[in-house]
Amino acid sequence: MKIFQCQACAQPAHFEAEACESCECRLGYDPELADMTALLSAGSRWRGLADPGRRYRPCANRESGGCNWLVPAGSSEAYCLACRHNRVVPDLSIAWNRTRWREVEAAKRRLFYAMLRLRLPLASRRDDPSGLAFDFLVDPAESYLIGPPVLTGHDNGLITLNIAEADDVERERRRTLFGEHYRTLLGHFRHEIGHYFWNVLVRADPCLDAFRTVFGDERADYGAALQRHYAHGPEEGWQETFVSAYAASHPWEDFAETWAHYMHIVDTLETASQFGLRVQPKLQAQAGLISLSAKVDFDPYRSPDFGRLIEAWLPLTFAMNSLNRSMGQPDLYPFRMTPATIGKLSFVHDRIYARTDAPGADIGTLRAVIAGLRHRVAAPRSA
C-alpha cells in the first residue's frame, strides 16, 4: 500500500480516510489515479487537488460510511469500481450489521487496490454471468431464522462472506477452532479471489499442465478431499510443500492459499518500499551465512523479477517477527518459505505477468527459479 497525503496541507492520510485529520479537507480515493485526493466543492460536483482537471461524485456508499472511493462526474455509475461488484449487502438499518459491513468494505477496497495495481481483469456480472460479485450475508442464527449457516466461499465468480468474520472475537474463535496461524478479513478476500482467478487465468489456459505439475491434479474429488482434511488434517511434513495446512487439502485450495500469500507479499513490500525500509542486521560475517539484509527500493507491483521479491521478503519478515517478539506478541508472519512454496508463488507471479503481456515462464523456468532460490530459503521464520 502506498503512503497518501492531503494535497491541501501535506498531512499523511490513511487509505480509509474520508477527511484529513489536520485540515479537515474532504478526501477520496481515485482508483484511476491510484491516489488519494483532497476535494473541493465545484458546484454539484467535487474537484480533486491531485489532478485539478478531474471532477468527481462520491460513491453511493459514502453516505452510509461504507466507501471513500470516487466516481468520475460524467459517469452513469452510482457506485465506484469496487462497490459496483456487490450483489447483496446486509440490512444496514441494523447498527451492528452496518458496523461489520464497514469493516468488510474496508478490507474489500484493499483487495481492489491490489487487483487494480496488478492490472488484473475484473469482469462484472452485467458483462459476464461468471463475473466477479460479492454477497455479504448475516448468518440466520443471528436473527433466529431457519436456514443453513453462511459459509465464506467462492462459486463461479460469486464470493460469499459471513459478516461475522468482521467481529474480532468471533474470528479469533474460528481461527483457534480450525488451528490456523492467520485469519483476517483481508486474508479471506485474498484467498477467495484466488479461486476466482484460477478460473480466469488457469482453467482454460495452456498453463494447466504446468499447474498440475506444481500443485497437483485438481480433478481429484474436491468434496472427499475436504472431508479427509477436516477428519484427519494434513499429512505429516506438510510444511515442506504447502504454505498452510489448509492448502494441503486440495490443489484448488493450494492455489488459493498461494495466491493470497502472493498478495500479502506484494502489498507488504510496497508498504516497506514507501517507508524506505532497509534491513541490515548487525551480524558477524561468516562463510555460508544466508544474507538477512535487504533494501526495498523497487515497486513490487511492477517487478517481473520474482527472485527480487523473495530476496527482500525473507529478511523483512525475519525483522518483523523479531520486532513483534520484542513487544511480547506472536510472530507477525507465522509462515515458512521452502523451495516448494516458492515455486508455487512463482507460478502465481507468472500467471499475473503473463496476463499483463510480460514474458511467461514454462515449468522448466519454474524449476530454475526454485533451484536458484534454494540457498535463500533456509532463513528462520522468526527471531
pLDDT in tens, 190-241: 999 999 999 999 999 999 999 999 999 999 999 999 999 999 999 999 999 9
Summarize the confidence of residues 124-144 as an average pLDDT. Answer: 88
Q: Is the pLDDT of residue 368 over 70?
A: no
Judged by average pLDDT, the poorest of 92-106, 148-162, 240-254, 289-303 is 289-303
Question: Which pLDDT score, from 0 to 100, does residue 288 have?
Answer: 54
* Amino acid at position 244, single letter: S
Summarize the confidence of residues 32-54 as an average pLDDT. Answer: 92
Confidence band (pLDDT; 50, 70, 90) for 357? very low
- For residues 191 and 247, is the Cβ–Cβ distance under 8 A? no
* Amino acid at position 31, single letter: P
Residue 295, beta-bridge partner list: 278
Summarize the confidence of residues 282-296 as an average pLDDT. Answer: 74
Helices (H), 202-250: 208-215, 222-232
Between residues 3 and 140, the one the model is more confident about:
3
Q: Is the pLDDT of residue 291 over 80?
A: no
Confidence band (pLDDT; 50, 70, 90) for 264? very high
Nearest to 239, CA basis, from 45, 377, 85, 44: 377
Question: Which pLDDT score, from 0 to 100, does residue 381 have?
Answer: 38
Summarize the confidence of residues 14-26 as an average pLDDT. Answer: 95
**Where exactly are the structural domains of the chain?**
4-75, 82-200, 202-383
pLDDT in tens, 313-349: 999 999 999 999 999 999 999 898 999 999 999 999 9
User: Mean pLDDT of all residues in the chain?
Assistant: 88
Summarize the confidence of residues 71-92 as an average pLDDT. Answer: 95
Summarize the confidence of residues 281-309 as an average pLDDT. Answer: 83
- For residues 37 and 30, is the Cβ–Cβ distance under 8 A? yes
Summarize the confidence of residues 348-367 as an average pLDDT. Answer: 62
Confidence band (pLDDT; 50, 70, 90) for 379? very low
Residue 158, beta-bridge partner list: 133, 155
Confidence band (pLDDT; 50, 70, 90) for 273? very high
Sequence-separated (6 or more) residues with CB below 8 Å from residue 331: 321, 324, 325, 381, 382
Q: How far is CA 20 from CA 14, 42, 63, 105, 222, in A?
A: 9, 19, 17, 20, 48
Summarize the confidence of residues 362-379 as an average pLDDT. Answer: 43
Q: Is the pLDDT of residue 119 over 90?
A: yes
- For residues 221 and 256, is the Cβ–Cβ distance under 8 A? no
Q: Per DSSP, which regions of the chain are E strands?
A: 4-5, 12-13, 26-30, 35-42, 45-48, 55-58, 70-72, 86-88, 133-137, 153-155, 158-162, 278-279, 294-295
Cell of 76: 452513469
Residue 261, beta-bridge partner list: none
Place of cell 474480532: 168
Contacts of range 230-239, beta carbons closer than 8 Å, 24 or more positions apart: 233/179, 239/336, 239/338
Question: Which pLDDT score, from 0 to 100, does residue 49 have?
Answer: 95
Question: Which pLDDT score, from 0 to 100, does residue 286 have?
Answer: 61
Question: Which pLDDT score, from 0 to 100, does residue 174 have?
Answer: 72
Summarize the confidence of residues 288-316 as an average pLDDT. Answer: 88
Summarize the confidence of residues 8-32 as an average pLDDT. Answer: 96
Confidence band (pLDDT; 50, 70, 90) for 283? confident
Q: Is the pLDDT of residue 64 over 50?
A: yes
For the entire predicted model, the pTM comes to 0.88
Question: Which pLDDT score, from 0 to 100, does residue 156 have?
Answer: 94
Q: Is the pLDDT of residue 146 over 90?
A: no
Question: Which pLDDT score, from 0 to 100, does residue 254 have?
Answer: 98
